[in-house]
Structure 1
Amino acid sequence: MTTPLLEQMFTFGRTHSYWQDRPVDPALLHQAWDMAVLGPSSANCQPMRVAFVVSPAAKEKLRPALAPGNVDKTMAAPVTAIIAQDMKFYDKLPELYPQTDARAWFAGNDGLIAATAFRNSSLQAGYFILALRALGLDCGPMSGFDAGTVDGTFFADTHWQANFLVNIGYGDATKLHPRNPRLSFAQGCAIL
């Protein structure tokens, strides 16, 4: 059954590249975070971190990392979220997953850390985008950027690493392209 909220999040939710000149209330970003962290992640590890790039000075710091096709839309977006993964997420497991010594699963296991951080920060970012849409905001997720430049500029003294970017605001629906095709259930699924 389709509801208005599901339609807002999926049917009418689109990837925006053009933005209205309308600020985003920081309280909405806070609320979206609070909803997104309720979604499941393995062992409740919650490795997603978000840096909100809002000020003109911060946007200019981000500019050199952007692929040419992403510059204008990012500079125009009221907010650009750098979705990052905390590579020391496991240090919070004693608090987030106290049932067992889950930190020991990861400490010293760089391969498991990298796979878990990437997989679960991406999963959490999906929840975050849906939460933003549920709150009436539009999103434009993108990969066209140099992660090393972003990490050096914004995360030099942290254990955070950039995963992808999401422009956030109130999109200009008059400039949307027609929706591209999607795979059908038969094309993308198997019941085994």
Structure 2
Amino acid sequence: MTEKLSDAALDTIFRAARTYNGYTDEPVSEAELRAIWDLMKWGPTSANQLPARLIWCVSDAAKQKLAACASAQNAPKILAAPVTVIIGMDTNFHEHLPEFFPHNQTAKSWFEGDTELREVSAMRNSTLQGAYFIIAARALGLDTGPMSGFDNGLVDAAFFAEMPAVRSNFISTLGHGDPSTIFERSPRPAFEKFNRIA
């Protein structure tokens, strides 16, 4: 039985954590990016598909290129953040299943010839991995600003042209959040509003 996390840890990951629109000048190191990956990669995905492909936009050139693909509202956030991460999804993830799901060597065949199934699976599981990215970043003392508000086709052409099976899912800024850039916390529903125990 796994021990429950402390209230302080739960606050860090969920209750007190916020989505940030801006960050302090404190940098984010490559070691921290690697530490995020080394946590998020352990999050469960269906048949250990692991379809997420991340591009960490750290350089000014990469951020400029990504900002050019974003809405007028989001472009300045990308340019100002220490890092912006593109969470992509590999629709040919099944090619890696013999390595990542070794106890069932037939798993690759489940997806061969079924593009629609691979796309649905890649979207679902890369989104899960994107959520693990947010949780890992928060657990390591960093803040995030996940967003849509960009042109997927432009992002794919700019960043995934050499990987045609990979497409963008969503993006997120990353850094040490500036509290002055957050809004008042929006409400969350009580259990009874959207849940049913059957």
TM-score (norm 1): 0.97
Aligned-pair identity (%): 44
Query: Residues of 2 paired with 1:168 and 1:175: CA distance?
Result: 14
SS in structure 2 of the partner of residue 83 of structure 1? strand
Corresponding residue number in structure 1 for 2:172? 166
Task: Tell me the equivalent position of 1:153.
Answer: 158
Shift of 1:124: 1.0
Q: For 1:37 and 1:189, how far apart are their aligned partners in 2?
A: 29
CA deviations over 1:30-60 (Å, ceiling 9, x no partner):
1111111111100001101110011011111
1:133-180 CA-to-partner distances (Å, cap 9, x unmatched) read 000000000000000000000000102110000000011012321100
Question: Structure 1: any 5+ residue segments left out of the alignment?
Answer: none
> Aligned residue for 1:30?
34
Residue 110 of structure 2 aligns with an amino acid whose one-letter code is W
Match of 1:104 in 2: 109
On the 8 A contact 2:78/2:173 being kept in 1, the answer is yes
Task: Find the counterpart in structure 2 of residue 175 from structure 1.
Answer: 181
CA RMSD of aligned residues (A): 1.0
In the alignment, which residue of structure 1 is the partner of 2:141? 136
Q: Which amino acid aligns with 2:32?
A: L
User: 1: distance between equivalents of 2:26 and 2:194?
Assistant: 38
The aligned runs of 1:82-93 (5 Å cut-off) are: 82-93=86-97
The residue type paired with residue 173 of structure 1 is P
Distance 1:17 1:11 in 2: 18
Q: 3-state SS of the aligned residue for 1:103? A: helix
Which residue identity does 1:51 align to in structure 2?
Answer: I
Counterpart CA distance in 2 for 1:69 and 1:175 is 14
Corresponding residue for residue 122 of structure 2: 117
Deviations 1:47-106, CA, capped at 9 Å, x for gaps: 011100110111111122101110111110000000000111100000111122100000
Structure 1's consecutive aligned runs of 4 or more residues displaced over 6 angstroms after TM superposition are none
13, 16, 20: which is aligned to 1:16? Answer: 20
Which amino acid letter does the alignment assign opposite residue 60 of structure 2?
Answer: P
Q: Does the residue aligned with 2:97 lie in a helix, a strand or coil?
A: helix
Partner SS, residue 178 of structure 1: coil
Task: Indicate the larger mover: 146-155 or 180-189.
Answer: 180-189
How many residues are paired up? Answer: 192
Please give the TM-score of this superposition, normalised by the length of structure 2.
0.94
Q: 2: CA distance between counterparts of 1:43 and 1:11? A: 30
One-letter amino acid of the counterpart of residue 179, structure 2 = A
Specify the alignment match of 1:45 in structure 2.
Answer: 49
SS of equivalent residue, structure 1 residue 49: strand
1:3: how far off?
2.0
2:66 equivalent to 1:62: yes
Equivalent position amino acid for 1:145 in 2: F
- Using the TM superposition, give the Cα deviation of residue 129 of structure 1 relative to its aligned residue in structure 2, in angstroms: 0.6
Q: Which residue of 1 aligns with 2:197?
A: 191
Q: List gaps (5 residues or longer) in structure 2.
A: none
138-147 vs 56-65, which deviates more?
A: 56-65
